[in-house]
Structure 1
Amino acid sequence: MAKLQWGMIGGGEGSQIGPAHRLGAGLDGLYNFAAGALDHRPDVGIEYGQRLGLGDRAYGSWQDMLEGEKKRDDRIDLVTVATPNATHFEITKAFLEGGFHVLCEKPMTMTVEEGEEIVKVAKATGQICAVNYGYSGYSLVRHMKAMVARGDIGKVRVVNAEFAHGHHADAADADNPRVRWRYDPAQAGVSAQFADCGIHAMHMASFVTGQEVTKLSADIVSCIEVRTLEDDAMVNFRMDGGAVGRLWTSSIAIGRQHGLGIQVFGETGGLRWSQEHPNQLYYMPLNGRLQVIERGEANLSPEADRTSRVTIGHAEGMPLAFANIYTDLAEAIDARKTGREMDAAANLFPKAEDGLRSMSAVVAVAQSGKADGQWVDARPPSLR
C-alpha cells in the first residue's frame, strides 16, 4: 500500500485530542503528516505546524489549507477535523465538496439537519466521511461485536452502557473556560454530557449489537445548578432488533476517571468490557463458568486479530484504538484508489450515517428530558 497524505485541522499545541490523532495516524507508517491548520490563531498554528515538520503546508486557517491543497498534485488524501463542535459542519462539508476524504471528531454536526446534509454531500461527492467514535477501534470491542454477530450469546435482550466521570464535579470550576463552554448552548448545542460522552456509549451499544436505536426516554439534570445544560443523564432506549437499552452518563461522578463500559446480555450468554481495562473481555455462557478472553490470544475473530497490535499481556491504549480507525480508513481509501475490494474486516470505521444517528439521539435526549421522560423517536428523518 502506498503511503497516504494526511492533514489535520485543529488539534494544536496543548489540545487534548491532537496528540492522540497524530500518534494514531502515524503508528503503522500508512500516512505522511503533510499539512495542517492547527490553531484558530494563524501565527500560532503556522509556527506549531512548522515545528512538526509541515513546512509551507502549515496553514493559518482551514480555508487557506483547503485552497492550498486543492492546487497540489500531492494533495492530502484524508483530513481530520478536530476543531470545536460548532465548526465541524462547515469544515467537513467544504472538504468533502473539495474532493477530500474526511475523519470528523464527534459530534459530526450541531443539528440533525446539518447531519442529513453531510450524509447527502458524502454520497454526492463519493468521498468517505468518517466520524471518530474511536473507542470502537479497540480489539476486544471488535471481538465482542463478532461474538454477538455469530450468535455466541443468542439473541440480545438487554444492553447496559455507561460513560461516567467526575472531572466536572467541582462547582468552583463553573467559570473555568475549559469547562464552561461544554455547558453553554451557544457552543455545545442542545446537550452537554450526553453529546460529549453519552453518544460514545450509545454508539458502542449499536456497534456491538448491530442494532440501531429507534426510540428513547431520558431523565436529564444539571446537578450544578448554574449550568444550563445537563451534567448527568439516564437514558432508556429500544433498538430495532428487539434489544432493550439502559445508558447512564455523568460528569459529576466523583471517583470515576473515564468510566466507559458496556454489558450485553443475550439468551445464551453475557459479555462485559471496560475501556479502562481494555485487555479483558468477560464472557459468561448460560449455565457455564465465567471466561476471561485476553486481547492477543490465539483463535480470536479476524476483526480482533487485525487490530491487536502489541503482544499479549501488554496494555492497549486509546491511541492504538485510534490507529485502528486510521488503518481501516487507509484500507478503504487505498481500495478506492486501486479499484479493488477492501478487506471486510476493515469496514468497521464509523461513518457519516453513524454521526447522523448520534446527532438525532442527542436532540431526542434533550427533547425527552424537557418533557419529563416522554418517549420520543430517536431516528433521523431520512432513516425512519
Structure 2
Amino acid sequence: MARLSWGMIGGGDGSQIGPAHRLAAAVDGAFEFTAGALDHRPDAGRAFGRALGLRPDRAYGSWQEMLEGETHRPDRCDLVTVATPNATHFPIARAFLKAGFHVLCEKPMTMSVEEGEEIVRLARETGRICAVNYGYTGYALVRQMRAMVTRGDLGRIRLVVAEFAHGHHADAADADNPRVRWRYDPAQAGVSAQFADCGIHALHMASFVTGQEVESLSADIVSCIESRVLEDDAQVNFRMTGGTVGRLWTSSVAIGRQHGLTIQVFGEKGGLRWAQEQPNQLYWMPLGRRLEVIERGEAGLYPEAARASRVTVGHAEGMPLAFANIYRDLAEAIRARSEDRAPDPAADLFPRAEDGLRSMAAVYAVAESGRDAGRWVDARPPMFR
C-alpha cells in the first residue's frame, strides 16, 4: 500500500515535540515525511529540513511558503501537523484546512473559544479532518479503559478522578527563566497557565475514557509562587453529560511528581486506575472480587487496545508509540475517506476539533470560576449549548 504524504510545521532542531511526531508518523510506514517548515528562522528551517532528508524544494522557510508550495502539487501532503507555538496554531490550521489539507494540530488548538468554533465549522464545511494531539489517548491501556466503560464492564460510571501534576516549576528563583516565565504571562499564555498546559490533558482523558462531555465546573486556582499572574495549581470539580461526577487536580509546583498524569474511573460494578508513568499496567477492581492487573500486550484485550499494542508483553511502550496510534488512526481515516468506506471502529479514536474546542471552553470556564471564588459555570462552548 502506498504511503501517505506527511508534512510538518514547527518541531525544528532542539524542539521537544518534533522528534516524537517524526518517530510516531514513521512507525507503521503509513506516512512518508515529504515536506516541512520546521523553524521560524527561514534558513534554519530549510537547512534542518534538508538534514532530515527533505528535498530542497519541499524544505520551506515558513508555513506560508509551505502552503503556497504544497497547495497545487499533484503529490501534495495528505496530512499536515502543526507543532508551532500556541498562539500560531489557529491561523496555520485555518489556512491549511481552507486549502483542503487534513490537519493534526498540537494542543491547545486555539487561544480562544471563538477561534475554536471557527475551526470546527471550517472542518465540517470543507470535509477535512482536523485532529488535535491529545496524544496520551493513544496509549493501549487507556483505550482498554474506554472499551471496558463502553461495553458496560463497570456499569454506570459514578466518579472519575484525573490528575496531571509535576514539580518542574516549583523553584521561585526560576521565576525569571524565559523558558518558564512565558507560561505564566497572560500576554503569551492567555487566560490560564497550568490548567491550559496540563489540566486539559487530564480533562480530555476523563471525557475520552467515559464517553461523556463536561457540562459545568467549579475551580479553585492559585499562584503558589506569588510573582506569577496566572495559576500554577488548580483543583476543578466538574459534572458530565451522563451524570458522572469529576475531580481534577493539576499543578506545576508538586515537588516529587515528574509527569503525574493519572486517571481513575469508578462505576457501579468496579473501578479502574492507570498512570502514564507506568503505562503497561491497568488496575481493575471488580466489585466484590480481587484486584486484577491487566497487562499491555496480553491476550484477551479488547480490539481497541490490542490494535494499539506494538511490542510484546512485558516490554516498555512509551509516549512516541502512543502518538503513533494517533497517526495510525488518521491514516485509516484518510484512506477510508478516499475509498468511500467506513473506518475500522477500533481505529476511529483520534481526538477531533470538537475536543479541542471543548478544552478551550473549559480553560475559560476554569479562569472565570477561579476569579469568582469557585462559582459553578457552564463549561460548554456556545455552539454546543
Which digits, 9 at most, give the CA deviation of each residue in 1:150-183, with x for residues without a partner?
1111100010000000011111111111111111
Tell me, in whole angstroms, the C-alpha distance in 2 between the residues paired with 1:340 and 1:377. Answer: 37
| Residues in 2 aligned to 1:375 and 1:17: alpha-carbon distance in whole angstroms | 35
Counterpart residue number, 2:112: 111
Alpha-carbon distance between aligned partners in 2 of 1:229 and 1:265, rounded to the nearest angstrom: 32
Q: Deviation of residue 55 (structure 1)? A: 2.1
* Separation in 2, partners of 1:22, 1:101: 17
**Whole-angstrom distance in 2 between the partners of 1:26 and 1:169:** 36
Q: 1:142-153 alignment to 2 at 5 Å? A: 142-153=143-154
In 2, the alpha carbon distance for the partners of 1:363 and 1:302 equals 36
Aligned equivalent of 1:94: 95
* Aligned equivalent of 1:263: 264
Aligned residues: 384
Instruction: Output the amino acid matched with 1:49.
Output: G
SS at match of 2:228: coil
Map 1:85-234; keep pairs closer than 5 Å.
85-234=86-235
Aligned position for 1:3 = 3
Please tell me the residue identity of whatever aligns with 1:5. S
SS at match of 2:239: strand
Which letter does structure 2 place at the counterpart of 1:48? Answer: F
Task: Give CA deviations for 1:291-338 in whole Å, capped at 9, x if unaligned.
Answer: 000001101100001100000000010000000000000000011112
Instruction: Tell me how far apart the structure 2 counterparts of residues 135 and 92 of structure 1 sit (CA, whole Å).
Output: 21
Distance in 2 separating the partners of 1:36 and 1:235: 39
* Counterpart residue identity of residue 193, structure 2: A
d(CA) in 2 for partners of 1:40, 1:141:
35
Q: What residue is the counterpart of 1:290 in the other structure?
A: 291
In the other structure, the counterpart of 1:50 is 50
> Which runs of 5 or more residues in structure 1 are unaligned?
none
Q: Distance in 2 between matches of 1:205 and 1:70?
A: 37
**3-state SS of the aligned residue for 2:360?**
helix
TM superposition shift of 1:186: 1.4
Counterpart code for 1:194: F
RMSD: 0.6
Structure-2 residue corresponding to 1:273:
274
1:31 matched to which residue of 2? 31
For 2:187 and 2:40, how far apart are their aligned partners in 1? 18
- The corresponding residue for 1:63 is 64
Secondary structure at the aligned position of 2:183 is classed as: helix
- The aligned residue for residue 16 of structure 2 is 16
Aligned partners of 1:328 and 1:185: how far apart in 2?
Answer: 35
Give CA deviations for 1:81-137 in whole Å, capped at 9, x if unaligned.
001110000000000001100000000000000000000000111100000000000
- 4+ runs deviating over 3 angstroms: none
Which amino acid letter does the alignment assign opposite residue 2 of structure 1?
A: A
Matches of 2:239 and 2:2 in 1, distance apart?
44
CA distance in 1, matches of 2:188, 2:121: 25
Alignment of 1:297-316 (within 5 A): 297-316=298-317
Distance 1:363 1:296 in 2: 39
2-structure distance, mates of 1:76, 1:86: 23
Give the 5 Å matches for 1:325-344. Answer: 325-344=326-345
Q: In the TM superposition, what whole-angstrom CA distance separates every residue of 1:257-311 from its partner, at most 9, and x where no partner exists?
A: 0000000000110000000000000000111100000001101100001100000
Residue by residue over 1:339-377, the C-alpha shift from the partner in whole angstroms, topping out at 9 and shown as x without a partner, is 222101111000000000000000000000000100000
SS of residue paired to 1:264: strand
Structure-1 separation of matches of 2:172 and 2:103: 37
2:208 and 2:22 map into 1 onto residues whose CA distance is 25
Distance in 2 separating the partners of 1:59 and 1:183 = 32
TM-score by length of 1: 0.99
Residue number in structure 2 paired with 1:376: 377
Q: Distance in 2 between matches of 1:81 and 1:169?
A: 30
Query: Equivalent residue of 1:341, what SS?
Result: coil
CA distance in 2, matches of 1:23, 1:41: 23
Q: Which residue number corresponds to residue 40 of structure 2?
A: 40
Q: How does 1:339-350 map to 2 (within 5 A)?
A: 339-350=340-351
d(CA) in 1 for partners of 2:23, 2:40: 22
When normalised by structure 2's length, the TM-score is: 0.99
1:72 positional shift? 1.0
Task: Give the percent of matched residue pairs that are identical in Structure 1 and Structure 2.
Answer: 78
